[in-house]
């Protein structure tokens, strides 16, 4: 087995995920808060230490693929690849070839994370699909039977909504996301928790139902993101949870772009 490694980087507005693949095997994955002023050298020190703890060697990284929705931070990720891994990264939206049709008005508007999710979900589940990603925004994306990206829906992310309630109201505290014991709250915190939790459950069920009605065909629903299991427990709308959709999508995009086959 070759020791060469692929580094897949998924940079979102809140967190940046670094995943290491050896062939098809995901052998390491770490998360760091996204900061636009973090330098390439800072990334390198952090990543080298974590790879060493997992018995991986940074010098074995031969290729890198990046999906970023933070343009002002992309320069330092590219510098990381050139300076520390001696390679030119594939970048979703620039040099990478997704290998799927984009059936939206302007392909330049689609976030790299959404496109990579489409590739990753279709490679595992086929289509048609609805992919729900509980990230900074809660997104619902439609993937056609042939893997084509057909558009979707944006809603404010759960943590974004909680932060907004806390910031704009003098009397609402900052709370975490949790499933309340009852729908009807009897104090400020339980009222907020119920509104957020059951409100988002209703959002999931309502948006998915309307998407299915408009699409006119049965659609499997796949969820990803850290909060997916919390909401899956309250609704039958979600068929599958896959926390690795995005990084697996990056692997598939890299394979397609480089002509790599199993």
Residues that are catalytic: 113
- Using H for helix, E for strand and C for coil, what is the string for the chain? CCCCEEEEEEECCCEEEEEEEECCEEEEEEEEECCCCCCHHHHHHHHHHHHHHCCCCHHHEEEEEEEECCHHHHHHHHHHHHHHCCCCCEECCCCCCCCCCECCCCHHHCCHHHHHHHHHHHHHHCCCEEEEEECCEEEEEEECCCCCEEEEEEEECHHHHHHHHHHHCCCCCCCCCCCCCCCCCCCHHHHHHHHHHHHHHHHHHHHHHHHHHHHCCCCEEEEECCCHHHHHCCCCCCCEECCCHHHHHHHHHHHHHHCCCC
Determine the Cα–Cα distance for residues 110 and 87; give it in Å rounded to an integer.
26
Determine the Cα–Cα distance for residues 80 and 203; give it in Å rounded to an integer.
39
Burial-class residue 165 by CB neighbours within 10 Å (0-12, 13-18, 19+). Answer: middle
**Structure token pair of residue 141:** 């994306």
């Amino acid at each position: 087995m070759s020791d060469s490694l692929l580094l897949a980087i998924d940079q979102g507005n809140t967190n940046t995920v670094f995943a290491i693949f050896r062939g098809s095997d995901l052998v390491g994955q770490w998360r760091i808060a996204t900061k636009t002023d973090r330098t390439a050298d800072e990334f390198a020190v952090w990543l080298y230490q974590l790879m060493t703890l997992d018995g991986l060697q940074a010098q074995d990284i031969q290729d890198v693929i990046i999906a970023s929705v933070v343009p002002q931070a992309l320069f330092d990720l590219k510098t990381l690849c050139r300076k520390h891994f001696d390679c030119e990264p594939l970048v979703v939206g620039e040099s990478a070839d997704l290998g799927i049709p984009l059936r939206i008005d302007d392909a330049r508007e689609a976030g790299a994370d959404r496109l990579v999710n489409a590739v990753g979900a279709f490679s595992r589940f086929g289509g048609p699909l609805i992919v729900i990603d509980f990230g900074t925004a809660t997104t619902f994306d439609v993937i056609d039977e042939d893997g084509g990206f057909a558009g979707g829906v944006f809603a404010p992310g759960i943590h974004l909504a909680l932060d907004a309630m806390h910031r704009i109201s003098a009397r609402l505290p900052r709370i975490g996301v949790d499933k309340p014991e009852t729908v009807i709250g009897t104090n400020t915190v339980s009222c907020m928790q119920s509104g957020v939790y059951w409100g988002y459950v209703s959002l999931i069920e309502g948006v998915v139902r309307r998407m299915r009605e408009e699409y006119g065909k049965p659609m499997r629903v796949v969820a990803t993101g850290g909060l997916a299991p919390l909401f899956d427990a309250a609704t039958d709308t979600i068929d599958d949870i896959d926390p690795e959709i995005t990084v697996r999508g990056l692997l598939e995009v890299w394979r397609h772009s480089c002509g790599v086959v199993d």
